[in-house]
Structure 1
């Protein structure tokens, strides 16, 4: 719990500074797409529980992220957080967004428009620092590997890391588009 280290930025395909931003997210091969869809099927059956575990670990390790949530920003206790309807609701939304991405991996336009909406809402409406997406991705990969060890082998984890890198690329692209200047925040 206490001493969790986020993976090195280069592991998540994250670039420092706008000038280093790659032209596009690295595309997934057909095999990689199948691996994602296959493993996600097992996760999505338990989507709310998984989503709640991910968010609780995220907020416990990175308490500053709670500032965006009125209902549980002062909660310290994970069990109390787990009972928060606002947290459960957000967990469902996160899992549904990923589900939409996974279901539409064959359709890059759709993926990019879904993630642009997510990015814009978090930038304009919620004013969330984009680095939190990077952190949340790595917490999610960690929870998936722990909760589904039989499916999340080293190879599968690498493919998911690639997907999460692409998600982050699209989301931060939306931040840049709306004129957010701190995309390359090194505050992690």
Structure 2
């Protein structure tokens, strides 16, 4: 990349000189300060949701960001949970095959009117809520998530790939509910939380 620097001092007319982007020179002594990455405002690093590897740890700030952004979601948990699960099934109809009671719900309207869908959706959002409030008790959190993993692996035979897909729907809903207040640091914290949950849900597979 070529960067042009406006000249001064001995450079007639304040003309621009060209130089490479890896080193910046002033047109005449004294030398200009070399630009560095420290001069560039850094955005909080984000990570994609993963379902394998090591479980992430959480800072106090990340825990606070998760809980603060969750409050607006969980305060309307009945409607929000249904929206999440219905969106998931509409986008991934093959996932319904793992739940016999959902197999005949072949339209969005049928999904919305199903009490079984609402009941299951509430179980999902309550599981996320438990995982959030047990972040300070990792042993209890691991135990509850392991039980869910065993149920989905042994009883329901759910394909584990769908955990990550559902997690992405949950993240989109959290971002939507928080609208303009969902910062990059909050998103990063949520990506870590959902990674933690997805990895935990695969322990029985």
TM-score, scaled relative to structure 2 = 0.73
Whether contact under 8 Å (2:50, 2:164) holds in the other structure is no
Q: Equivalent residue for 1:14?
A: 51
Whether contact under 8 Å (2:70, 2:174) holds in the other structure is no
Structure number with the bigger relative contact order (C-alpha 8 A, sep ≥ 6) is: 1
Q: Size of the alignment, in residue pairs?
A: 159
The answer to whether structure 1 residue 71 and structure 2 residue 101 are counterparts is yes
Question: Displacement, 1:13?
Answer: 2.6
Whether contact under 8 Å (2:72, 2:177) holds in the other structure is no
The answer to whether structure 1 residue 82 and structure 2 residue 82 are counterparts is no
The answer to whether structure 1 residue 129 and structure 2 residue 166 are counterparts is no
Q: How far apart in 2 are the matches of 1:50 and 1:151?
A: 18
Residue 173 of structure 1 aligns to a residue whose secondary structure is coil
Question: Displacement, 1:152?
Answer: 2.5
Q: Which runs of 5+ in 1 are unaligned?
A: 1-9, 16-21, 176-188
- Taking only aligned residues, the RMSD between alpha carbons, in angstroms, comes to 1.5
Of 98, 117, 123, the match for 2:128: 98
The answer to whether structure 1 residue 31 and structure 2 residue 68 are counterparts is no
More strand by share: 2
Structure index of larger Rg: 2
Q: How far apart in 2 are the matches of 1:71 and 1:172?
A: 23
More helix by share: 1
- 1:85-135 per-position Cα deviation (integer Å, ceiling 9, x unaligned): 110000110011111111111111011111001100000110101111111
Structure 1 runs (4+) deviating above 6 angstroms are: none
Q: How far apart in 2 are the matches of 1:124 and 1:71?
A: 17
